[in-house]
Structure 1
Amino acid sequence: MHSSVALTVSFLLVWSGVVLAEDITKEEGVLVLTEKNFDSAVADKEYVLVEFYAPWCGHCKALAPEYAKAAGLLSEKDSNIKLGKVDATEEPKLAEKFEIRGYPTLKFFKSGKAVEYTGGRTADTIVAWVEKKTGPPAAALSDAAAAKAFKDENKVSIVGFFKDQASEAAKAFLEVASNMDDFKFGITSEEAVFGEYDITGDAVVLFKEFDEGRNDQTEDFSVETITAFVASNSLPLVVDFNHDTAQKIFSGEIKTHLLMFVSYKGDEYQKQVEIARSIAKDYKGQALFVTIDTDEEDHKRILEFFGMKEDELPGMRLIKLEEEMAKYKPEDGSLTEENIRTFVKDFMDGKLKQHLLSEEVPEDWDKEAVKVLVGKNFEEVAKNKDKDVLVEFYAPWCGHCKQLVPIWDQLGEKFKDNDNIVIAKMDSTANELEDIKIQGFPTIKMFKKGDNKVVDYNGERTLEGFTKFLESDGKEGAAFEGEESDEGAHDELGCVNLCQNCKSVAFCSREHYLAHHQRKYCFPFQFFTDSTLGTKTLIATRDIKPLELIFFEWNLVLGPNWSLNPIGNPSCLDCCKPVENSYKCGHCGLPVCNETCQIGSNHQLECQLWRTKPDLISSLWSESVELVTLAIMPTRLIQAKKFNPKVDNRTRYLYENRTLAEGSKSWNDIKAALTVLMREFVDSNEISEVDMTATLDLVRTCSLITTEDRERALFPIFSQFSHSCISNCKFVVYPNKTLAVLSKTIIKAGDELTISLVPALEPTWKRRAKLYRDHLIECSCRRCRDPRELGTYLSALICQRCSIPATHTTGTEVDEVGCILPINPLEHDTKWACPMHPQRELSNEQAQRLAIDLQRKLYAGGQITTIERLEEVIETFSRILHPNHALLMMVKRSLLNCYSQVPISTVGRKELQRMKELGKEQLTLLIKIDPGYPDWRGDVLRNYSTAELNLAKLDFEDKHITRPEFLLRVKKAMIFVQEGLQCTSCVRVDRSAHTQMSMDILGEEMSADSSYLSDASCSSTCFD
C-alpha cells in the first residue's frame, strides 16, 4: 500500500509548462473573442461585456454601431470595462457553453463570472448599465463642477440632494438607484451643489435633455414614490416606440397609452409630434403618448394587432393595459389637435366604448358544414337560443389548430343535418368579443341553447371525444368540479382554465388537471418560460416548506436497462428480471421469463412490430444485445403514442423544450444504427426523422433506473425539472415504478424547482462527466463553476511542494494555500495548479487519474468493513488528497457507519468522540453543497446523536456535568434524532386550508406494508 501511494505521489508531481494565450484583436474598439482566447480575455480583465451575435441577424446589425460607440465612450473615459463580441455561428462551443438561444445575447463577466445583461441597446444605455454594475449605485458628487459634468454626460440623470446621507430618505434613494439599471444616479450633501441648483431641502432631481429639462421631487421619499417619479419623468412626453423603449412603455407605471401610427419620413411628422407634445403636458402621469413608425417592417404586426388598415394611416388608438389591453378607436382618426384632444378627453371622461376587431361577414359563412363566425355575426349565430353551438376559437398560425382542422371538418359533417347542433369556428386573431377573452389556441366552448350558458370543452381532441361531449349535452369532457374556466387566467402553456382550489395554475385538459390536482391537493408547481433562453422550466406557485410533496407521477413507459452490462442471464423484456432459463418469446424470439411475460403488456408493444421480422431481430440480438435493448424503450414510446392520444399529450412538451448538449460521436453513431433498425418497422409516415431523433434522445437522457437495476422508466413531468448540483428538491422512485418529488429546502413562490441527477458527494469533474454521459447535460451551476466547490474543496489535492497548512488537519476552516485546484472546472482540458506554484501545472487527465487510481486501490480487495483499515486509509490518503476531498469524505462516512455497528456496550469515550467528530464534519461541510433535508443527513444525524447521547451519559456518570446539563444535552440530541427521521420520511403535506390532502394519495399507490421505505430508490443512489 505504501509503495503504491508513493508511486501515485510521484505521478502527481509531473508538471507541464505554461501555455500562452492567443492575442486578441479589436474591431472598432470591440474585442473579437474566440474559443481560444475567450477564457484568458475574461480572466485577465475584471469587467467584460460580451455580445454573442450572428452575422445574418438584423437586430445584431442594428446593435453593431451602438455597441462600437459604447466601446469608444468607455475607452475615452479610460475605463477598465471592455466590450467583446463572439460570432456564435463560428464559435458554436462557446454558444453552447453559455446557453445562447437567440441573437443578440449579451452577458456581463465580472472577474470571469457571467451575469445576464438587462440594459438597453443604445450606446448611452449600455455604458450606463455597465458602469452601474461596476461601481456604487450612485456617484458621489463632491462639488458643483462634478455635478455639472455628471449632468452633462447623460441624457437622463437623477441626483439625490440629501444633507444627511444616512437618513431614511437617502437610503430609499440609494435602493432605487441599485434597482434601476438604465439610468445614472448621483448623490450629494455639499452646500455648493445645493446652491448651484437652487435646492434648499432634501430633493430628488431628474435632469434630462428633452421636454422641460428638469423635474423635482421634494417630499414623500420612499422606494415606491421615487421609483414612480423616475418612471413617469424619464421618458419624453411623446415617446418613440422602438426596441429600447418598448420595455419601459409597457412595464411602466402608466397603463393608458395613446398610440399614434405615423410615418417618420412624412412631411407632417414633426408637426404631429408637436401637437401631441402640447396635449401630453395636460395628461402627464395619466396617459403616455407613443409614436409608432409605420415605415418599419417590424411594426407591421403591431398595425395588424390594433386593426389599423392602410387607408386609416396616419391614425391613432387608445389602449388600457389593465383591461386585457382594451382598445379604443376614434370616430375621426386624423391627427389634428382638436381630434386628439377630444379623443383623449372623451376617454378620460368614460364616454368611449371599447373597439372590438371584426372581419366582414363572409357571403358563404354558412355554406359548409362548419360555420364561419366573425365578430359581427357571433351574437346572432353562437347565442341562438334554439341550438347548441360548439365553437373553435383558433389562430391561423397555431400548429395545434392546424392539426385539428380535419377532425373539426369531420365533426361538422357528422352534425350538419342535426337541427339542434351547430359546429362553428372563429379566427380569434382577427375578431374580438367583449365578454369572452381567448388566451390560448385552440379554445373550444359550447354555447347551450336556452340560457346560452358557456361550457368549456376539456376532453380529448378527437372525433369520438367531441361527439360524446355533444351527445351528452356538454357533460362528457366538460369542465368538472374545481375546473371552472377563468377567462383572465392562462399559464405558460397557453392554458385558460384556472384551478378553483389554488387559483394559481391553469390547465387545458383533464389530463393536465390531474397532473396538477389530486385528492383535493394542488401540486405547487407550474411551467415557466425563460424569456432569455426561450426554454421552459418549473417554478413554485406558492411558498413551500421542506419535505412537502411537489408532485407525484406514474411512469409513461418502462424498459430494460441498456447501460447494465449483460453479464450472466439476460433480462426478461417484460418484467426485466433475470431470465433463469432459455425461454424465448414464440413470436419475436427474444428472451422472456415464461408464457405470462410473453403476453405481458410491456413486451407486447415492441413484439407486435418485431414479430414481422423475427429472423432479423434474432440476428441483431446475437450480434449486439445492447443495440436491440436500446431500441426497446423508444419503440414502446412510439407505439404507445400511436395507440393512446393521452401519451402524446404527456410527451409533446418534452419534444419542444428539452435542451441538450451536443451528443458524443459514440452516441451519434449508436443513434444512427438505432434509426436504421427502427426504420425496418416504423416508416416516415408514422414518425418524422426529427421526431425519431428526439425520441431516441429523450429516452436516452430522461429515463431513470428504477428500484431494479435492470429496469428503466420514463417520467415526463419529472423530465422537465432542471438539474442543479445544489438542488432544492429530491426525488424517490418506488418499487411500483412511481415517482415522487419532495422539497428539500424552503422554496419561495416563483423560485425554480431543481433536482440533482448525480450524487452530491462527488467532485465536479466526476459529476459533470456523469451528467454528460447519462443525460447529455453540461452543468455550469455555481458549484461547478467554482474551483473550490463553494468552499468545500471536494476536488482539491495536496500540493507536495508546499507544507500542508495547519487548517488541513481539521477539514473544517480551509485555506487554498497548499491545494491543487482546477483553474477552470468547466473546461474539459483545464489545468490544475497550486496558488503558491502557478507556473507549474497538472493536466486534467493526471488529476482525475490520481483520484481514480486511489479509488480503485481503496476497493481492490472488496468493501472495507473494519474500523482499523478505514482509519489507515484516511491517514494515507490525507497525504495526497485534501481532507475534505470527496473520496475521503466517503471513506469517513463509511467509518462513521462502521462505528455505529459496534455494540454500544463495548464503545468507549474515545470511539464516541471520534463518531461525534466524524458526524460534525459531514454535517457542517456537506450542507454547503446539499442543503436542507437530503437523505444522507438522516443517517449522519442518527449516528451523531447516538454518540452525543452516550457521551452525555458518560459525562454525567463521571460527574463531569450536572443533571440539568445532562438533560439539556439529551434534549438537543433528541432534536437531532427527530430531524434525522424527517430527512428519510417520504412525504409531508402543507395542512393549510388551500392544500388539504390525506396521505391516501401515496398510500393507495404504495405497497400494502411499509417495506417500500427501505426499498425505495432515492435521489442519492439511483444514478450510481
Structure 2
Amino acid sequence: MPQSIPLFSVFAFLLLLLLTISPTINASENPFKVDGKVLELDESNFDAAISTFDYIFVDFYAPWCGHCKRLAPELDKAAPVLAGLKKPIILAKVNADKYKRLASKHEIDGYPTLKIFVHGVPTEYYGPRSADLLVQSLTKFVSPDVAILDSDLAISDFVEAAGTHFPIFIGFGLNESMISNLAVKYKKKALFSVAKDFSDNIMTSYDFDKVPALIASHPAHNEQSIFYGPFEDKFLEDYIQQSLLPLVLPINEDSLRSLKDDKRKIVLTIMKDETDEKSTNLIKVLKSAASANRDLVFSYVGIKQWQDFAESFEVYKKTQLPKMVVWDGNEEYYTVIGSESIEESDPGTQISKFLEDYREGSVIQKRISGPTLMGFINSQLGGRYFFISMLVLLVIIILILTMCKEEPLRVGTRDQTDHSRNAPFQPESRELRRAADKED
C-alpha cells in the first residue's frame, strides 16, 4: 500500500500539469480572433496566420493608394460572409508600404496585390472586387471542383447559385473524372458540374440532342455553346479555354483582367459609342465571326466609354470608325493594309476580308502609344491625372531652375521636354497590363 502512494501522486501531478498547459497549447495553435472582421497582419504574425487557416485571402495595400481605399469597405462587407462558410475563408490585410521586407518576400510590386493562400500555397487573385462578387468568386475555392447534380431541380439550383459573373460548364452524360483535372485548373475562372440525372425537358431547355455533351454558358451575355467531343484532354481543354470568355468581349477594366492568361490574339473593334444602334448591330456580326474563329478573341470598345484606351491605337478625331486592329494584349498591335475601317454596307464581308488578310500577313506592325505606362488600365481617369501631375511637376521644376539660374533657359529645353512627354507607350510586361488591378 505505501508503494502505491508515490505512483498515484505522480499520476495526479501529470494530470494537473496537462490541464494547466492545455489552454496554452490551444491558444498558441490559433492566436487569432476570428470574428468576421478583416485581420491586420504584419511581419510578426503573417506566417502564423498562413499556417493557421486553410483558406486566407490577403490584401497587400498601401495607405495612400486610391484603389486600396476603395477596396477596403468591400473587404469589410465580404469578411463576415466568407468567415461564416462551412469551410471559412479569412480575409486579412498587410500594409505592404510599411512592412517592405514582407512585401518583398511575397513579390509585391504594386497596390493592391491580392492573394489567396490555400493550405499555405499562394495564388494571385485578379477577379472582381465588389463585396458580392468577391464572395461569389472566393467561394469557388472551397466548393467542390465538380458539383454533382442528380435532378432537374439540382441543375436549376446550381445555375441560380452560380450567378451571372462567371461562365458555367455542365456535363450531361459525363463522368466527373473526365473534367475533374480541368475543373481544378480553371476553378478560379468558371464553375463546373455534371448532371447525373435529368429529364427530356432539360435537353430541350439547353438545346442538346445527344449525350455526352458539355454545355458552356455565359449568363451575363445570354450565350451558350455545346461540345459533343471528342472528350480527349487536348480537345476538351481547347473548348473550355476558348469558352471562358464570351464570343465578343466588351473592353473595360474588369474584362482586361480576364484576358491575363489568354494567349490568343485580340481582334479589337473601336467604335464611337458601343451602345448606339449601329454598334449593337455590328456586335451581332462580330459574334458570327467570333464563332467561326475561336483561335482569336473578339472584343470592342467605344470611345465614349473609354477614350484613353481607344486613343492608344492611333484613334483621332478624323479617324474613320469603326476601326479594327489585332492586338497582342501587350504593347504591339497590327493594322491590316486596306482593311482598317468598316463601312456600314455589308460589314460581314469586310470583317471576313480583314481576317483573311491578317492571316495572310498583309499587316503593319505598330506599338501602342499613350500618356502613361499603365494609366488607362488602372483607371479611366488615372492616366490623365498622372499625366497632368507630371506636367505640373515639370513646370514647377522649370520655374525653380529659371529663378535659380542667372542665364535664361537655352533653346531646346522645351523640345527635349516635349520629346519625353510624347515618348512611345511601353508597358512593363504582359502580366502587368493584363492584371489591370494595381496602382503603382
TM-score bracket, shorter-length normalisation: 0.5 to 0.7
State the alpha-carbon separation in 1 of the partners of residues 345 and 40 from structure 2: 54
Residue by residue, what CA displacement relative to the aligned partner does 1:504-560 show, whole Å, maximum 9, x if unpaired? Answer: xxxxxxxxxxxxxxxxxxxxxxxxx9968xxxxxxxxxxxxxxxxxxxxxxxxxxxx
Residue by residue, what CA displacement relative to the aligned partner does 1:975-1016 show, whole Å, maximum 9, x if unpaired? Answer: xxxxxxxxxxxxxxxxxxxxxxxxxxxxxxxxxxxxxxxxxx
Query: Does the 8 Å contact 1:238/1:273 carry over to 2?
Result: no
Q: 2:214 aligned to 199, 204, 216, which one?
A: 204
State the alpha-carbon separation in 2 of the partners of residues 215 and 310 from structure 1: 39
State the alpha-carbon separation in 2 of the partners of residues 216 and 530 from structure 1: 31
**Partner in structure 2 of residue 86 of structure 1:** 94
**Partner in structure 2 of residue 158 of structure 1:** 169
State the alpha-carbon separation in 2 of the partners of residues 197 and 72 from structure 1: 39
Tell me, yes or no, if structure 1 residue 291 matches structure 2 residue 297.
no
Please give the residue correspondences for 1:630-779 in structure 2 after superposition, counting only pairs within 5 Å: none
Query: Does the 8 Å contact 1:328/1:354 carry over to 2?
Result: yes
Change (3 A) 1:204 1:68: farther
Aligned-residue Cα RMSD (Å) equals 4.5
State the alpha-carbon separation in 1 of the partners of residues 91 and 309 from structure 2: 33
State the alpha-carbon separation in 2 of the partners of residues 128 and 178 from structure 1: 17
**Partner in structure 1 of residue 287 of structure 2:** 281
Q: 1:338 aligned to 338, 345, 348, which one?
A: 345
Q: 1:246 aligned to 234, 256, 269, which one?
A: 256
Letter in 2 for 1:309: Y
**Partner in structure 2 of residue 218 of structure 1:** 228
State the alpha-carbon separation in 1 of the partners of residues 347 and 64 from structure 2: 41
**How many angstroms does 1:219 deviate by?**
2.4
Change (3 A) 1:99 1:40: same
State the alpha-carbon separation in 2 of the partners of residues 172 and 314 from structure 1: 46
**Partner in structure 1 of residue 157 of structure 2:** 149
Residue by residue, what CA displacement relative to the aligned partner does 1:744-794 show, whole Å, maximum 9, x if unpaired? Answer: xxxxxxxxxxxxxxxxxxxxxxxxxxxxxxxxxxxxxxxxxxxxxxxxxxx
Q: 1:307 aligned to 304, 314, 320, which one?
A: 314
Tell me, yes or no, if structure 1 residue 231 matches structure 2 residue 238.
no
State the alpha-carbon separation in 2 of the partners of residues 148 and 310 from structure 1: 49
State the alpha-carbon separation in 1 of the partners of residues 76 and 297 from structure 2: 32
Please give the residue correspondences for 1:798-947 in structure 2 after superposition, counting only pairs within 5 Å: none
**How many angstroms does 1:148 deviate by?**
1.2
**Partner in structure 2 of residue 52 of structure 1:** 60
State the alpha-carbon separation in 1 of the partners of residues 187 and 264 from structure 2: 19
Letter in 2 for 1:82: I
Query: Does the 8 Å contact 1:119/1:129 carry over to 2?
Result: no
Letter in 1 for 2:225: N
Q: 2:363 aligned to 343, 354, 360, which one?
A: 354
Return 5+ residue gaps in structure 1 as ranges.
Answer: 1-14, 359-427, 432-438, 441-491, 493-528, 533-1024
State the alpha-carbon separation in 1 of the partners of residues 218 and 309 from structure 2: 32
Tell me, yes or no, if structure 1 residue 104 matches structure 2 residue 112.
yes
Change (3 A) 1:289 1:37: same
**How many angstroms does 1:46 deviate by?**
2.5
Tell me, yes or no, if structure 1 residue 173 matches structure 2 residue 179.
yes
**How many angstroms does 1:159 deviate by?**
1.2
State the alpha-carbon separation in 1 of the partners of residues 80 and 282 from structure 2: 36
Question: How high is the TM-score relative to the length of structure 2?
Answer: 0.62
Change (3 A) 1:285 1:54: farther
**How many angstroms does 1:66 deviate by?**
5.6
SS at match of 1:338: coil
Please give the residue correspondences for 1:490-501 in structure 2 after superposition, counting only pairs within 5 Å: none
**How many angstroms does 1:313 deviate by?**
7.6
Change (3 A) 1:162 1:48: same
Residue by residue, what CA displacement relative to the aligned partner does 1:575-632 show, whole Å, maximum 9, x if unpaired? Answer: xxxxxxxxxxxxxxxxxxxxxxxxxxxxxxxxxxxxxxxxxxxxxxxxxxxxxxxxxx
SS at match of 2:345: helix
**Partner in structure 2 of residue 259 of structure 1:** 269
**How many angstroms does 1:121 deviate by?**
3.1
**How many angstroms does 1:55 deviate by?**
3.0
Letter in 1 for 2:68: C
Identity %: 23
**How many angstroms does 1:290 deviate by?**
1.6
Return 5+ residue gaps in structure 2 as ranges.
Answer: 1-20, 368-421, 433-440
**How many angstroms does 1:49 deviate by?**
0.9
Aligned length: 342
State the alpha-carbon separation in 2 of the partners of residues 73 and 208 from structure 1: 25
Query: Does the 8 Å contact 1:162/1:203 carry over to 2?
Result: yes
**Partner in structure 2 of residue 117 of structure 1:** 124
Tell me, yes or no, if structure 1 residue 316 matches structure 2 residue 327.
no
Letter in 2 for 1:235: L
Query: Does the 8 Å contact 2:215/2:224 carry over to 1?
Result: yes
**How many angstroms does 1:151 deviate by?**
1.1
Q: Which is further off, 153-162 or 286-295?
A: 286-295
Residue by residue, what CA displacement relative to the aligned partner does 1:278-304 show, whole Å, maximum 9, x if unpaired? Answer: 10232124154322354678x736633
Change (3 A) 1:209 1:127: same
Query: Does the 8 Å contact 1:318/1:328 carry over to 2?
Result: yes
Letter in 1 for 2:148: A
Query: Does the 8 Å contact 2:267/2:299 carry over to 1?
Result: yes
**How many angstroms does 1:274 deviate by?**
1.5
SS at match of 2:155: helix
Question: How high is the TM-score relative to the length of structure 1?
Answer: 0.29
**Partner in structure 2 of residue 421 of structure 1:** none
Give the structure, 1 or 2, with the largest relative contact order (CA under 8 Å, sep 6 or more).
2
State the alpha-carbon separation in 2 of the partners of residues 131 and 257 from structure 1: 33
Change (3 A) 1:273 1:122: farther
**Partner in structure 1 of residue 404 of structure 2:** none
**How many angstroms does 1:257 deviate by?**
0.5
Query: Does the 8 Å contact 2:171/2:215 carry over to 1?
Result: yes
Letter in 1 for 2:160: D
Query: Does the 8 Å contact 2:60/2:112 carry over to 1?
Result: yes
**How many angstroms does 1:259 deviate by?**
2.5
Letter in 2 for 1:289: F
**How many angstroms does 1:52 deviate by?**
0.7
Query: Does the 8 Å contact 1:50/1:83 carry over to 2?
Result: yes
* Larger Cα-atom Rg: 1
Change (3 A) 1:47 1:257: same
**How many angstroms does 1:104 deviate by?**
1.6
**Partner in structure 2 of residue 186 of structure 1:** 192
Query: Does the 8 Å contact 1:237/1:281 carry over to 2?
Result: yes
State the alpha-carbon separation in 2 of the partners of residues 313 and 250 from structure 1: 30
Change (3 A) 1:127 1:177: farther
Change (3 A) 1:192 1:141: same
**How many angstroms does 1:240 deviate by?**
1.9
Letter in 2 for 1:312: T
Query: Does the 8 Å contact 1:24/1:37 carry over to 2?
Result: no
Letter in 2 for 1:303: E
Please give the residue correspondences for 1:436-455 in structure 2 after superposition, counting only pairs within 5 Å: none
State the alpha-carbon separation in 2 of the partners of residues 146 and 132 from structure 1: 17
State the alpha-carbon separation in 2 of the partners of residues 320 and 530 from structure 1: 12
**How many angstroms does 1:205 deviate by?**
0.9
Letter in 1 for 2:300: T
**Partner in structure 2 of residue 478 of structure 1:** none
